[in-house]
Structure 1
Amino acid sequence: MADNTSTGSSGSAAKASDSSKKVGLIGLVGIVISAMIGGGIYNLPQNMAADASAGAIIIAWVVTGIGIWFIANTFRILSAARPELTNGLYTYAEKGFGKLIGFFVAYGYWICNCFALVAYSVLVMATLDYFVPDFSGGNNIPSIIGGSIITWIMYLLALQGAKSTSFLNIIGTIGKLLPVAIFIIAVATVFKFSVFMEGFWGMKGTIDLTFSWDNVMPQVQATMLVTLWLFLGIEGAVVVSGKAKSQAAVRKATTIGFLVTLALYIIVSLLPLGVYSQADVGAMADPSMAAIMLDKFGKWGEILVNAGVIVSVLSSWLVWMLMLGEMPLAASKSGIFPKAFVKENKKGSPSTALLWTTIIVQIVLVISFFIGSNAWTTMISITSVMALPCYLFCTLFLFKIAIKKEYPEGIFASRNMAVFTGAAGSLYGLWLIYAAGLNYLMVACIVYAVGLPLYIVGVRQHDPKAKLFAKTSDKVIVAVVVALGIAGLVYSIVTFGHVKL
């Protein structure tokens, strides 16, 4: 309240001070690219070739590129159409479909990316095993201890705020792109088109298969969770848009980040297939980029890639810590997360949200010890599946405001473009849910159902007299979520046995 009664000069000074804490275009681009390009790109050749031939991979990238563009364009359009909604995913879902759906998006996005941070821990510790043996698998006891130390260091860095760490994000982005660029240039020198065309649509024994939908589409579908995982973070600039200098910078950063990242993913996944067969690439050890560099260029290439993995993952880890604090903060301000989450420190960082994020990551990190050798795959699959509803409700929100003529005039995208983008993005999201398969969908259902008490506590703290689930639609949603949670628990016990996914 004191700000409203201050003098003009002090108001201007406050505004200038606030502006100095904002993140500009370069910083936002760094956030978007760092959020998307984690350690996954270094194992991308093997991840894609394990299930798909060169032709299927090309189709997969076309499908993914178009689908993710609709999601990216959704965020671009919404940042212009509803610029007052400065916390992205949660606020879009809440404004479009009510507080309960808004809660599930905020909670789901928050928790699923806590799993992503554990995936980062597994990867970085497994890579450190190359330099300092003892971290085998990335989730043994020394790895859990090392990952825990890094987790709490990232928490302390994130407390310094988005502006204070934007320089680190830029440096980290450069550090992660340099080894990738060297890999691309080096492998291009040994690329042979004749090798690339062998088994272009797949091999059956020694027989070179021809194109058929029955052969190719299962290959394409098998890559979808991998490609979705790689693009998690496309919303990075939108999530921290409240800390951005302008919404125009948010739109530009989203576009630049998407195009740069897509180009790199396509090249990195296809180039090795002009050097090795699909079977050889698909059988390579993690990270496959390092295996290729060692085989073709010697020890220096392997060291470069492994060092790149560590820099890349640590950079993305910091970006995600910054992003994850924003979602519970916004949800608490809207009255659906407990009041404690609204607390910010002097640097403008959501200190309580960051603390609880770190605690949850720590808990899941300990749990990863019991998962065994599948820890990395399990974490990225749960992350991808739980992120799907978050993206889906954003595209549905755009579609809703466009068809209901709540869409503003005079912005860069027409209403028809908004309708088409929202509809196409929603269809892509639904297809991804189908492609994800039942196993991880069931796990996601359990995690979403477990979050309901958090909503109840949050609403009661902000308004003790508020009626929970007053709308019929809310009652239906709760019943469905609880039923799916129970079904998921039963399914997981029966299917996975001792929680081994």
Structure 2
Amino acid sequence: MASTSQKMSKMQLTGMVVGGMVGAGIFSLPRTFANATGPLGAVIAWIIAGTGMYMLARVFQALAERKPELDAGVFAYAKAGFGDYPGFLSAFGYWIGSCIGNVSYWVLIKSTLGAFFPVFGDGNTVVAIVVASIGIWLFHFMILKGVQQAAFINSIVTVAKVIPILVFIVILIFGFRMDLFQSNLYGGGLEGNIFEQVRATMLVTVFVFIGIEGASVYSRYAKKRTDVGQATILGFVVVTALMVLVTLLPYAVLQRADIAGMRQPSMAAVLEGVVGHWGAVFVSIGLLISVLGAYLAWSLICAEVLFTAAKTEDMPAVFARENANKVPANALWLTNIVVQLLVISTYFSRDAFALMLNLTSAMSLIPYLFVAAYGCMTANRGEGYDVRPEERRRDLVMAAVAVIYTVFMIWAGGLKFILLSAVLYAPGTALYIWARREQNKSVFIASDWIIFIVAVIGAIVGIYGLATGRIAL
């Protein structure tokens, strides 16, 4: 249990949610959506994503209140509901997905700088990778000095990075042209019907909502257990409003095709198109603050997930060790080594940002599905409903909607990212085998073997696809 001095207030927990969600994704929304659809498709996509993620947020809230003993957040629910190996896969998938998400932050930082300093290119030059590597380890050693210090910095950065987004929204509201908005409404010039357009945006909406569970991951630091659920919902409402406005308003100031052709971060390019070059500079500065703040939040979350999984014997014990500042140092070291290797790999990718964005979403959906399914299970059984039993039916409906939503998201993402996820899940099982051997426990039960074999087959097919060029990075 964390000491009192390390406890987080409701606002700090909300800051972890907002800080985790408002990162690279929100600054890339205009071009990403304009490539896929017009305002009508965007509205439909946000209704689907907002409803699904709201239901998922409510599941996190309900579980935080009904299952207070499960204070590890995401993966603890998978383990409690479905067993040790599914619990490990949830923890590993969430952890590695978060590492990949951290790489997308560095890619966007380098791409942003590339608009002003050509040596950074599109974020995948040698100089860009060296600068990102320096940043990775500067953050690493800062976090080693203490979780509370990093959480305090995150609270300040969260406020600072929301300001440029609000300025962007206000300027575009004043520049709103209904004729442009109407001409863009159906995504003129795009192929495919509205359903296909909406489907093309689905993994993007998942990416920008990742972080909704930030308070849940840090529930062991909460001053009050009820603060976890309230912080989750408050953070969700704030960030959803910002993302919808950032997506829709550009259609009212520029043609969809022009937005689709902009380089990332497209929010900077949109504002430049409206007010001139200073707009790009202003948003770019905001982006750098935002992404660095999000990177800080997610570095904390990555290490916390690995550390907690080790404490519950789902990961090797070496990752359960803390330094003198109560920081899970070994977990942080492994996290940043993985991030460093992935940053180096971006040199070989054609569109590293898009790849990391979609793969992060795909990896995160499996843990989210476990959480939603466990929410269904507990509400159906009535576990933890001795207090306010009348909420049971409501919670069951919300959890069921969350399950349907996450399954739909996995399907919408396509086979490519399912196979790429398997390429990571299958070898990652080595950590589970290591942990089970440490505890002198049998590695798999019968159902675990089925899951493992499916993951291995998926990994083999994925590697074959990569080797033959059928799966492009």
- So what's the TM-score if we normalise by structure 2? 0.97
Gap change, CA 1:79 and 1:204, over 3 Å in 2: same
Contact 1:94 1:103 in 2 (8 A): yes
Which residue of the other structure, out of 89, 95, 105, is the alignment partner of 2:74? 89
1:388 maps to 365
Q: Which residue of 1 aligns with 2:236?
A: 258
SS in 1 for 2:193: helix
Aligned match for 1:427, one of 404, 407, 426? 404
User: In the alignment, residue 81 of structure 1 is paired with which amino acid?
Assistant: R
Contact 1:407 1:415 in 2 (8 A): no
For the pair 1:230 / 2:205, whether they are aligned, the reply is: no
In the alignment, which of 107, 112, 116 is matched to residue 127 of structure 1?
Answer: 112
**Structure 2 segments unaligned to the other structure (5+ residues):** none
Deviation for aligned residue 1:417: 1.4
2:23 maps to which residue? 38
**Structure 1 residue 496, shift from structure 2 partner:** 4.1
**Alignment correspondent of 2:140:** 155
- Corresponding residue SS for 2:52: helix
CA contact (8 A) 1:80 1:411 kept: no
Whether contact under 8 Å (2:108, 2:264) holds in the other structure is: no
Q: How does 1:398-437 map to 2 (within 5 A)?
A: 398-411=375-388, 414-437=391-414
Structure-2 change in CA distance of 1:400 and 1:284 (3 Å): same
Structure 2 residue aligned with 1:304? 282
Are the structure 2 counterparts of residues 443 and 176 from structure 1 closer, same or farther at C-alpha, using a change threshold of 3 Å?
Answer: same
1:162–1:243 CA contact under 8 A, matched in 2: no
**Equivalent runs, 1:341-380 vs 2, <5 Å:** 341-371=319-349, 373-380=350-357
2:458 alignment partner in structure 1: 484
Does the CA contact (< 8 Å) of 1:54 and 1:196 recur in 2? yes
- Specify whether residues 40 and 412 from structure 1 end up closer, same or farther in structure 2 by C-alpha distance, changes over 3 A only: farther
CA distance in 2, matches of 1:216, 1:87: 40
Query: In 1, distance between residues paired with 2:442 and 2:144?
Result: 35
Shifted more, 220-229 versus 325-334: the winner is: 325-334
1:453 to 430, 435, 448: 430
Query: Higher mean Cα deviation, 443-452 or 480-489?
Result: 480-489
Matched residue type, 1:260: V
User: How far apart, in 2, do the equivalents of 1:70 and 1:158 lie?
Assistant: 32
Partner SS state of residue 366, structure 2: helix
2:410 is aligned with what amino acid? I
CA–CA separation in structure 1 for the residues paired with 2:419 and 2:285: 36
Give the SS at the match of 2:36.
Answer: coil
1:186 corresponds in structure 2 to 171
Query: Which secondary structure state, in structure 1, belongs to the residue aligned with residue 262 of structure 2?
Result: coil
* Shift in Å, 1:119: 0.8
**Corresponding letter in the other structure for 2:334:** W
Note if contact 2:24-2:104 (Cα within 8 Å) is conserved in structure 1. Answer: no
Aligned to 2:44: 59
CA contact (8 A) 2:45 2:201 kept: yes
CA contact (8 A) 1:449 1:482 kept: yes
Alpha-carbon deviations, 1:74-101, whole Å to 9, x = none?
A: 1011000101111111111111111100
Separation in 2 of the partners of 1:100 and 1:279? 47
Give deviations 1:51-83, integer Å, cap 9, x for gaps.
011111011111110001011111011000101
1:144–1:204 CA distance, 2 compared to 1 (3 A) = closer
Q: C-alpha offsets along residues 146-173 of structure 1, whole Å, 9 cap, x if unaligned?
A: 1111111111122233322222111111
Please tell me whether Structure 1 or Structure 2 has the larger radius of gyration of its CA atoms.
1
Contact 2:79–2:85 (CA<8 Å) still a contact in 1? yes
Cα deviation, residue 327, structure 1: 1.1
Q: Could you say which residue in structure 2 is the equivalent of 1:145?
A: 130
Equivalent residue number for residue 219 of structure 2: 241
For the Cα contact (< 8 Å) 1:187–1:271, is it kept in 2? yes
Mean CA deviation greater in 195-204 or 93-102: 195-204
Give the distance between the partners of 1:257 and 1:221, measured in 2 at CA.
25
- Aligned partners of 1:169 and 1:319 also within 8 Å: yes
CA displacement at 1:491 relative to structure 2: 2.5
Separation in 1, partners of 2:452, 2:118? 48
Kindly state the Cα deviation for residue 184 of structure 1 after the two structures are TM-superposed: 0.8
User: In structure 2, what residue type is equivalent to 1:446?
Assistant: V
Alpha-carbon spacing, 1:413–1:405, altered in 2? closer, same or farther (3 Å): closer
Instruction: Give, in angstroms, the shift of residue 357 of structure 1.
Output: 0.3
- Distance in 1 (alpha carbons) for counterparts of 2:41 and 2:67: 38
Please state how far the C-alpha of 1:401 moved relative to its aligned partner.
1.3
- Where do 1:275-294 residues align within 5 Å? 275-294=253-272
1:475-500 alpha-carbon deviations (Å, 9 max, x no partner): 21122221222122222323347xx4
Match for 2:442: what amino acid?
Answer: K
The CA deviation string for residues 21-42 of structure 1, in whole angstroms up to 9 with x for no partner, is: 1111111111101100102212
Counterpart of 1:493 in structure 2 is: 467
Shift of 1:132: 3.6
Aligned length: 473
Unpaired runs of at least 5, structure 1? 1-14
